[in-house]
Amino acid sequence: MVIKSEISNISNSCPECKGKTISIHEKGEIVCRQCGLVVSERILDISHSGKRAFTKQEKDRRERTGSPISILLPDMGLSTVIDKNNIKNPDLKRAAKWNSRMTWDKRNMLIATTELKRIGSNLNLPTHIKKAAIKLYIEAFKKKLLRGRSINGMVAACLYFACRERKIPRTLQEILDQTSVNAKNVRRCYRTIIRELNLKAPSTNPISLIP
């Protein structure tokens, strides 16, 4: 483990290929841009520590161990960053090329997560709603409910369900306004996830939708 205040003592070059390294704060890693080697892991940020912690709860709150892995990252934040443009070793170039060929599963999740975060941001939806929606989408994907249905339509349906379930006042039309998918498509996806995932259709209080 590396303390953030001591990062200056770490070499800026990779011990393997001598390439330049970059710091990825979201993951707490220092990674080589050329070969992808993780030079150092889990950087602790102590820059916000200044007050004493008298209880375990306070200590846990004030410790900084890097951002937790988020379900809103399509690869769960575990992928390695490689700058393919600066690779000179032919073997590493081939490895980077194969690494860049994402499977359909990963491409699907990347598209879905990007679209979900875009709509969520435009509608100012809280993070817990977006997380609930992507969990629902993952379940739908695992059940192969995407066959014959659009990714964006399923994303919109999952967001709509998450909003209704958690009493967030967002109408289907508000979500439709943020996507190019038609209402019929989204309603079809919505009915599918309720039926196939054995979910109970949440009710909405009309008063909550009044601005």
Amino acid identity of 37? Answer: L
Q: What is the pTM of this model?
A: 0.56
Q: Say if residue 43's pLDDT is above 80.
A: no
How confident is the model over 90-119, as pLDDT tens digits? 666 665 565 555 567 788 888 899 999 999
Q: What percent of the chain has pLDDT over 90?
A: 37
> H or E element: which one contains 23?
strand 21-24
Q: Rounded CA gap, 207 and 211, in Å?
A: 9
Measure the CA dihedral 168/142/195/207, to 10°.
0
- Tell me the three state secondary structure of residue 136: helix
Confidence of residue 8 (pLDDT cuts 50, 70, 90): very low
Query: How is domain 104-209 classified at the CATH fold level?
Result: Cyclin A; domain 1 (1.10.472)
Q: For position 148, what pLDDT does the model report?
A: 86
Domain with CATH 1.10.472.10 in the chain: 104-209
Predicted confidence at residue 197, as pLDDT, reads 95
Residue carrying the six token digits 């964006």: 152
List, edge to edge, every strand of the sheet that includes 29-32: 21-24, 29-32, 38-40
CB atoms within 10 A of CB 12: 12
Please state the length of the chain: 211
pLDDT at 108 (0 to 100): 86
Exposure letters 175-203 (e unless 16+ CB within 10 A, then b): bbebbebeeebbbbbbebbeeeeeeeeee
Is-contact 31 10, C-beta < 8 A?
Answer: no
Return the structure tokens found at 24.
């990825």
User: What does 65-134 look like in DSSP terms, one character per residue?
Assistant: --PPP-TTSTTTT-PPP--GGG---HHHHHHHHHHHS--HHHHHHHHHHHHHHHHHHHTT--HHHHHHHH
Q: Which residues pair with 207 in a beta bridge?
A: none
- List, for residues 112-153, the tens digit of each pLDDT value: 999 999 999 999 999 999 999 999 999 999 999 988 889 999
